Amino acid sequence: MVPPGSRPVVRFAPSPTGFLHVGNIRAALFNWLYARRYGGTFILRLDDTDVARSRPEFEAGIERDLLWLGLDWACKEKQSDRLAHYDASRDRLIASGRLYPCYESPEELDFRRKRLMAQGRPPVYDRAALKLTDADRARLEGEGRRPHWRFKLATEDVRWDDLVRGPQHVDEASQSDPVLVRADGTHLYSFTSVVDDIAFGITHVIRGEDHVTNTGAQIQMFQALDAAVPVFAHLPLLVDVAGGGLSKRTGSLSIADLRERGIEAVAISALLARLGTSDPVEPVISLEALVASVDFGRVGRAAARFSEEELAQLNARSLHMLPYDTVSSRLREFHADLGEIFWLAVRGNLATLADARSWANVVRGPIRPLIEDADFLAEAAGKLPPEPWDDTTWKNWTSGLGRKGRALFHPLRLALTGQEKGPEMAKLLPLIGRARSTERLHGREA
């Protein structure tokens, strides 16, 4: 994928106009993993030239979400700081004849498109503006019209080797010349993205397949600006279980909402890195475990279905294998840090980390014991061995109580934990301790 001796430079370029969701993060994740695997550079670029919709809180949210996921960046750039660079590239394209002014109003363009479609013809811009004389342009500007600027496409078949989709081509003769500069002088994303990719030395553009249609024109822009064309990798888009698209503003699938619901960052990454690939979805304990496996050749062409249920299951499986040192500080936030012994005892029964709080309450008390067969429980209390206790205490104690199976274990679990099921009692009993165990077996809150 990467020539020997070279290091990729990649970028994630969100617009701070909404919250990041799983679809956005999938592109960021693949960029980050690819850079990490090949010793490259991951750049965060905020495409914030949409002044009306870009907001500081969304920018802060993007950074917070990326850092929470562990996707750190080498540098951060903002397009709003680079307007002069876009103007300079615009002037270069004008001087070379590749960017030309057009004066049609939106209404006029819409009328032309509809007329062409009614005639059964493709709604391609007819380049009427190229026929305008200097006098025509002066007259139109005298009427108060301000031009928008179109990039003159070379009428050729543009080809590239996509790392995901394989050999691709676009017949630019069948495409409208794209508008790169609006009548108010602001630049469109397809143009500013190319200018920035050149400036930052981007070697690989890894993004969603919704950008495939832009690629042919953008390749010509790179060439028109005398720049090397990067390698492209277009990932299939994520869809929900019903096959619908994932909107940027779907709150339930925003990274912030998933974090609030107790989904682990590593579970999100593990799922998104493997969805739509030939690799099985498996829990991991760190991003580094995913680095070696990133391979665009293993990414399928079909849309990948994202399931919240699958994510929830993977989240639980991830928690069940996380070592204590990765969660200890967060357990303290939940007032549930009772040390590594406690964590190893309860992690296999957690759906989210916050669930550890309920088991910490069981261990520390007080709880209201559920009494089933009070006489048996009183007898069992009288046979509790002296401390210290370890994970052999449960077996040694219960083997002398004269019962087996459910008749033995069910009343003891209900009394000692107040729960029908949970972690192994052999691990919980030493944490509960003899004093609390005695009180609970006698039906008293402790």
User: Average pLDDT of 415-434?
Assistant: 97
Tens of pLDDT, residue by residue over 197-232, are 999 999 999 999 999 989 999 999 999 999 999 999
Q: Provide the terminal-to-terminal Cα distance of the chain, rounded to the nearest Å.
A: 62
User: Average pLDDT of 236-261?
Assistant: 78
State the pLDDT confidence band at 51, using cuts at 50, 70 and 90: confident
* DSSP structural state of residue 162: E
User: Cα(392)–Cα(348) distance, rounded to whole angstroms?
Assistant: 19
pTM of the full structure: 0.91
State the pLDDT confidence band at 249, using cuts at 50, 70 and 90: very low
Percentage of the chain surpassing pLDDT 90? 91
Phi-psi region of 64 (alpha: psi -120 to 50; beta: other; left: phi over 0): alpha
The average confidence (pLDDT) of the chain is 94
Please determine, for residue 2, whether its predicted confidence score (pLDDT) is greater than 70: no
Please determine, for residue 233, whether its predicted confidence score (pLDDT) is greater than 80: yes
List, in order of start, the domains of the chain with CATH numbers.
9-83+188-238 (3.40.50.620), 96-181 (3.90.800.10), 251-325 (1.10.1160.10), 327-441 (1.10.10)
User: Cα(293)–Cα(34) distance, rounded to whole angstroms?
Assistant: 10
User: Cα(26)–Cα(271) distance, rounded to whole angstroms?
Assistant: 9
124 CB-near residues (< 8 Å, 6+ apart): 116, 174, 175, 176
Phi-psi region of 289 (alpha: psi -120 to 50; beta: other; left: phi over 0): alpha
Burial of residue 372 (number of CB atoms within 10 Å: 0-12, 13-18, 19+): middle
Angle separating helix axes 425-441 and 356-364, nearest 10 degrees: 40
State the pLDDT confidence band at 253, using cuts at 50, 70 and 90: confident
State the pLDDT confidence band at 52, using cuts at 50, 70 and 90: confident
Please determine, for residue 247, whether its predicted confidence score (pLDDT) is greater than 70: no
Q: In this predicted structure, what is the pLDDT of residue 248?
A: 46
Computed from CA positions of residues 128, 129, 132, 137, in that sequence, does the dihedral angle turn out positive or negative?
A: positive
Q: In this predicted structure, what is the pLDDT of residue 246?
A: 66
CB 43 within 8 A of CB 13: no
DSSP-based helix, strand, coil % in the chain, nearest 5: 50, 15, 40
String of DSSP letters for 274-304 = HTTBSSPP---SSTHHHHTT--GGGB-SSPE
User: Average pLDDT of 145-172?
Assistant: 96
Please determine, for residue 241, whether its predicted confidence score (pLDDT) is greater than 90: no
User: Cα(295)–Cα(418) distance, rounded to whole angstroms?
Assistant: 49
Computed from CA positions of residues 374, 376, 379, 385, in that sequence, does the dihedral angle turn out positive or negative?
A: negative
User: Cα(437)–Cα(422) distance, rounded to whole angstroms?
Assistant: 16
Q: In this predicted structure, what is the pLDDT of residue 251?
A: 55
Percentage of the chain surpassing pLDDT 70? 97
User: Average pLDDT of 184-201?
Assistant: 96
User: Cα(55)–Cα(340) distance, rounded to whole angstroms?
Assistant: 43
Q: In this predicted structure, what is the pLDDT of residue 398?
A: 97
User: Cα(101)–Cα(136) distance, rounded to whole angstroms?
Assistant: 12
Please determine, for residue 338, whether its predicted confidence score (pLDDT) is greater than 70: yes
Q: Please report, as a single letter, which amino acid is at residue 53.
A: R
